[in-house]
A and B are shown apart, each in its own frame.
Chain A
Amino acid sequence: MSDLEQPPADPDEVISSPGIDMFVPGHAPTNAPLNERKQARRENWRLIRRRPAFLFGVFILTVWVICALLGERITPHDPLDFRAGSHLSPRWEFPFGTDATGRDVLSRVMAGARDVLRIAPLAAFLGVLFGVILGMLMGYLRGWFDTVASRIVEAFLALPVVLIALLAVTTLGSSSWVVTGVVAALFTPIVARTVRSAVLAERDLDYVTSARLRGESNLFIMFREVLPNVMGPIVVELTVRVGYAVFTVATLSFIGAGPPPPSPDWGAQVSENYNSIISGFWWTTFFPAAAIASLVIAVNMIADSVQSVMEAS
């Protein structure tokens, strides 16, 4: 089944890549010497790059990253300038129309990429980092630590993420650092559970036993021996979490726990404007909503491609 999921090998590439015959793609032994592992990684990367969904996702993501990096330097108008007429419908000068206070929606959508792209990837990375550490300790050490931590993780999983984030942001204020930290903290137990089960499958294998007999410290075994072998699920988890982080950050700013008003954040724009849909001003809500959707879909297409290739191997 896993063979069917991979596109057939391209003969040109087989020739152009030295050493391809040394291993079967996707079946590289996990504790193989370093250069073979590197080759397996290169092979995965080649398979990922061939997927149209991946390229499409990268294209959209790149557009938003450019908007976020250049911001006001490339927007057609100043995103905070309210001198245009209010609620102008989309036209040549304002392709996405203007909002209730006469600001250009296109410029605000372009500048709004910055807030979410500054918060979501960092939050996902931190969540995965802490999740890996926690999950590694739980799965490797077992015993009372695992029992207690598993219960707490389970309790966290039963909580609606958005609600707890909202609660915490209300408590600690809605600066972007707080939002980043809260989202990271909420992702930690989810990632920890995945990593824990991956580590459980590894901890009784021979290479761990022999490292223990060699007298290596627990810390060394966990992070130098076991970690490289559970990197697959961790990479998948990271890409998936970035998508969820965008989702969560947008939802948080929609329910009022995002950056404060003049900022052109997408969720905040939807929240400010959805009540005027009823009066027929659909564009002020539609374009930021579509921007959120396009970014989440792009990230998920990338995540999905990474996942299918990683799981096939």
Chain B
Amino acid sequence: MRKFILQRLASIVVTLWLLATIVFMLVSVLPGDVGRKVLGPTAPKEDVAAFNAQLGTDKPLFEQYVKSMKRVFTLDFGTSYQTRSSVSDIIFPALGRSGKLAVLAFIFTIPISIFAGIYAARRKDKLADRVIVNAGLASSSIPEFVTAAVLLAVFAVELGWGKAFANPPDGTSLFGQLEYLWLPAMAMAIAYFGYIARMTRAGVITALNADYTRTATMKGMSSSQVMRRHILRNALAPTITVISVQIGYLIGAVIGVERVFNYSGLGSTMLGAVGAHDVPVLQGAVLLVGIVYMLSTLLADLLIAFLNPRVRLETTR
């Protein structure tokens, strides 16, 4: 068990290094003079040169690469080109805001979609199953920004049940923030309903047909007990994996939803950083998404092993 965790952590470090390198390569070929872009077209030439010298963006690429990797591994993401404040002060609060949205989205979507998946599996090929499967297919295939725009039009504008600008003013109580956050969270929840429901359905169908389920039923266990003790424990493993893979995605790729609702989360931060050529912010944000993604998949693997000890035995055999 400890060996497993250590191995995974080591592979996370290697993957992060590759991730940082890919991002560095992509941003360092971005055309244009960083100082010129940040200071604007009217700034005097000398100022631009001084700015570039201060940032080190006039140094050879390899030197910049070594410096940037050093920063990555000391978790010091440097200072923003644009605002000159520490990158950590920008990306961590943004991650917090995106995280809040993601948690709310999961609270909306997980119970409903797991229940729908179980319900569909028990009525396989009947009308309810068809409806749930196709609704899930539709919900997970529509881009989030499309759902977000429709929710915005219907609920925030026509019905007045939410806010079109999702940033709550400072000092809003946690409960008061709900009014601001529920619509964008709903847009994300709808996008993930399909994945989770379909995964749960597939897992439950497999478990329902398994020998251990028949044995449990034949030895006289009540059907609710069979469901809880035998079917769900086995069926939820793939669902947990899917949820964990979606966590990174939820936090990183909510760019569309955050843009529609003008919400200043990590997605908007990254979008802004691309436009402004703000390499340190971009690099920090993408790495942060990578770390969250990999830690959540590791946690999911541990949770699956905890729920179903047989998984662990099978891997050591």
Q: Chain A interface (Cβ within 8 Å of chain B)?
A: 1, 4, 53, 151-152, 154-156, 158-164, 166-168, 170-171, 243, 247, 250-251, 254-255, 270, 274, 277-278, 280, 282, 285-286, 289, 292-293, 296-297, 299-301, 304
Whether B290 pairs with A158 at a CB distance below 8 angstroms is yes
Chain B residues whose C-beta falls within 8 Å of the C-beta of A162 in the assembled complex: 253, 255-256
A167 to B146, CA, bound (A): 22
Give A298 Cβ to nearest chain B Cβ, in Å: 9
B299 within 8 Å of A (CB atoms): no
B50 within 8 Å of A (CB atoms): no
A151 to B29, CA, bound (A): 23
Whether B205 pairs with A1 at a CB distance below 8 angstroms is yes
> DSSP class of B's interface residues: helix, strand, loop or mixed?
helix
Whether B145 pairs with A282 at a CB distance below 8 angstroms is no
B260 within 8 Å of A (CB atoms): yes
Q: Which residues of B, 244-278, contact A by the 8 Å Cβ criterion?
A: 248-249, 252-253, 255-256, 259-260, 270-271, 274-275
Whether B138 pairs with A297 at a CB distance below 8 angstroms is yes
- Which one, A158, A167, A247, contacts B143 given CB within 8 A? A247
| 15 pairs, A vs B, C-beta closer than 8 Å | A1-B206, A155-B15, A159-B23, A162-B255, A166-B255, A170-B275, A171-B26, A171-B29, A251-B255, A255-B259, A270-B146, A286-B153, A293-B141, A296-B143, A300-B141
Whether A255 pairs with B152 at a CB distance below 8 angstroms is no
Whether A292 pairs with B142 at a CB distance below 8 angstroms is yes
A255 with B153: in contact, given A155-B15, A158-B248, A161-B253 (CB under 8 Å)?
no
A156 to B156, CA, bound (A): 37
Q: Could you give, for residues 139-156 of chain B, a 1 whenever the CB lies within 8 Å of some chain A CB and a 0 otherwise?
A: 001111110011011001
Whether A285 pairs with B153 at a CB distance below 8 angstroms is yes
- Which one, A156, A274, A297, A301, contacts B260 given CB within 8 A? A274
A166 to B30, CA, bound (A): 12
Whether B143 pairs with A292 at a CB distance below 8 angstroms is yes
A168 to B149, CA, bound (A): 26
Whether A156 pairs with B22 at a CB distance below 8 angstroms is yes
Q: Chain B interface (Cβ within 8 Å of chain A)?
A: 11, 14-15, 18-19, 22-23, 26-27, 29-31, 124-125, 134, 137-138, 141-146, 149-150, 152-153, 156-158, 164, 205-206, 209, 248-249, 252-253, 255-256, 259-260, 270-271, 274-275, 282, 286, 289-290, 293-294
Whether B146 pairs with A289 at a CB distance below 8 angstroms is yes
Whether B290 pairs with A280 at a CB distance below 8 angstroms is no
- Which one, B149, B253, B270, contacts A285 given CB within 8 A? B149
A286 to B275, CA, bound (A): 27
Whether A296 pairs with B142 at a CB distance below 8 angstroms is yes
A255 with B256: in contact, given A53-B134, A166-B274 (CB under 8 Å)?
yes
Give A290 Cβ to nearest chain B Cβ, in Å: 8
A166 to B268, CA, bound (A): 13
A53 to B130, CA, bound (A): 11
Closest B residue, CB atoms, query A270: B149
Q: A167-B30, A277-B149 are in contact. List 9 more A-B contacts (CB 8 A).
A: A158-B290, A162-B253, A162-B255, A166-B271, A171-B29, A274-B149, A292-B142, A293-B141, A293-B146
Give A148 Cβ to nearest chain B Cβ, in Å: 10
Chain B residues whose C-beta falls within 8 Å of the C-beta of A286 in the assembled complex: 149-150, 153
Whether B286 pairs with A159 at a CB distance below 8 angstroms is yes
- Which one, A158, A166, A285, A297, contacts B141 given CB within 8 A? A297
- Determine which residue in A155, A278, A299 has the highest number of CB atoms from chain B within 10 A of its CB, and name it: A155
Whether A171 pairs with B31 at a CB distance below 8 angstroms is yes
- Which one, B22, B137, B271, B286, contacts A300 given CB within 8 A? B137
- Determine which residue in B30, B142, B152, B164 has the highest number of CB atoms from chain A within 10 A of its CB, and name it: B142
Closest B residue, CB atoms, query A243: B141
Closest A residue, CB atoms, query B21: A155
Whether A160 pairs with B125 at a CB distance below 8 angstroms is no
Whether A163 pairs with B270 at a CB distance below 8 angstroms is yes
Give A239 Cβ to nearest chain B Cβ, in Å: 12
Whether A254 pairs with B19 at a CB distance below 8 angstroms is no
Whether A304 pairs with B137 at a CB distance below 8 angstroms is yes
Whether B27 pairs with A167 at a CB distance below 8 angstroms is yes
Whether A255 pairs with B149 at a CB distance below 8 angstroms is no
Closest B residue, CB atoms, query A291: B146
Whether B22 pairs with A159 at a CB distance below 8 angstroms is yes
- Which one, A158, A243, A255, contacts B255 given CB within 8 A? A255
Chain B residues whose C-beta falls within 8 Å of the C-beta of A300 in the assembled complex: 137-138, 141
A159 to B248, CA, bound (A): 9
Give B273 Cβ to nearest chain A Cβ, in Å: 10
- Which one, B19, B146, B152, B260, contacts A155 given CB within 8 A? B19
Whether B143 pairs with A250 at a CB distance below 8 angstroms is yes
Closest 6 CB pairs of A and B: A160-B252, A155-B18, A160-B253, A300-B141, A289-B146, A282-B153
